Amino acid sequence: MKKAEVVLIPLPAMGHIVAVVEMAKLLVQRDDRLYTTVLVMHPTLDPSTTKYKESLAASTLPDRMRVINLPRVESITSATKGRNWLTYLIEGQKPHVKEYVSRIRTQFEMNPDSPRLAGFVFDTFATGLKDVSNEFGIPWYVFSAAGAAFIGSMLHLTALHDEQGADLTEFTNSEDELEIPSLANPIPAKLVPSTVFEKYSLTTFLLHARLLTEARGILINTFLELESYAVSSLSDGKSPPVYPVGPIVKHLGDGPDLLSDESNNSRDIMEWLDDQPPSSVIFLCFGSWGSFKENQVKEIAFALERRGHRFLWSLRKPSQNAFEIKMDYRKDFYGDTEIIVSSDDILKAIKNVMEQDSEIRKKVKEMSRISEKTLVAGGSSFSSLGLLIEDMMENMS
């Protein structure tokens, strides 16, 4: 039986590392010919990743899977960890990744029974490492922790810039409606990802979007039933094959959860939740980079107080992201500017979610039910993962 190894490299931020680790688990649990290695780049973007990595080292990972910390890129200092940090990080890690790949190849040459490298999986914003993959003649894939609609938006905006000469920075305050193939309805141009509004971040955005089209395939943390319109729009023959393999979640029992400051505090929270009436608690969480400045925190707090619902709030230090509450919320990619979402708007959003007969509630419950089925035999993501593995194994033939 031929054995294949897949090397996965996430962006070194909590949400991306967790998603890629869970993706690596899915691969080895699905096919006993596969081995996976997750290479974690350093320095990471948030301190919580340290505790998470320690939990991985302490827990028992599935057989045929490992997580390896790459050496720290010493050239990244407080002076460079600004707008150029990603470029410095990727360039600094290329020699380390190359060394690891050389080791795998040497091991296979010495022992043909050992796994042969079948492919790389790069985070959407780590595709600059493709140079290493190309040097060794190894196919590479992209993994997106975001949805299919976002990937479609990246590709479409890049086409507008490259093929039609559009100045995307002019969309900043534009009310003109923009039709994006991965979105079912037109949106005001000012609602596109804020990275396109500033020339430096736009350059980075376009660079990674262009690289998407060079990949052998794009893995997306979504499922067909959730984003059927967006997935269909990406199956136009112009983009690499898309593999919806989600929802990718960290399951209980996959090792200790050290994301909170103290495990006792976590237990207290769970006990409190167990004591509350069903569907009575609103949970506020805005992702691993989701934090706000003082004024926005106050507006959220005012809304929660006025509405009077029980709530659990994951509150982080400054500075992102209220798009989930208000469509035209925008924050500069580097945190220089911010539009405050008022407590009135937040109050309306809470009401829409928490009313017992809310359409939003009904849709969420239905989609939750569907999501549980999509990863098991016969489900759409189960089938998609199978197709991905087939393609990876073909790389070795």
Q: Starting at the edge strand that comes first in sequence, how are the strands of the sheet with 218-220 ordered?
A: 65-72, 34-42, 4-9, 116-123, 140-144, 218-220, 242-244
Residue 354's φ and ψ, nearest 5 degrees, are -90, -15
Q: Which helix (H) or strand (E) holds 19?
A: helix 14-30
- How many Cα atoms within 13 Å fall on the side-chain side of residue 383? 7
Q: Tell the burial category of 260 from Cβ atoms under 10 Å away from its Cβ (0-12, 13-18, 19+).
A: middle
Question: Which of the residues are catalytic?
Answer: 16, 123
Own/partner pairs for 252-255, CB < 8 Å, 24+ apart? 254/22, 254/25, 254/59, 255/55, 255/56, 255/58, 255/59, 255/60
CA distance 301 to 376: 40
Do 67 and 40 meet the contact criterion of CB atoms below 8 Å apart?
yes
The amino acid that residue 117 corresponds to is: L
Distances (CA, A) of 296 to 56, 222, 299, 313, 351: 34, 30, 5, 14, 19
CA distance 353 to 364: 10
CA distance 114 to 121: 20
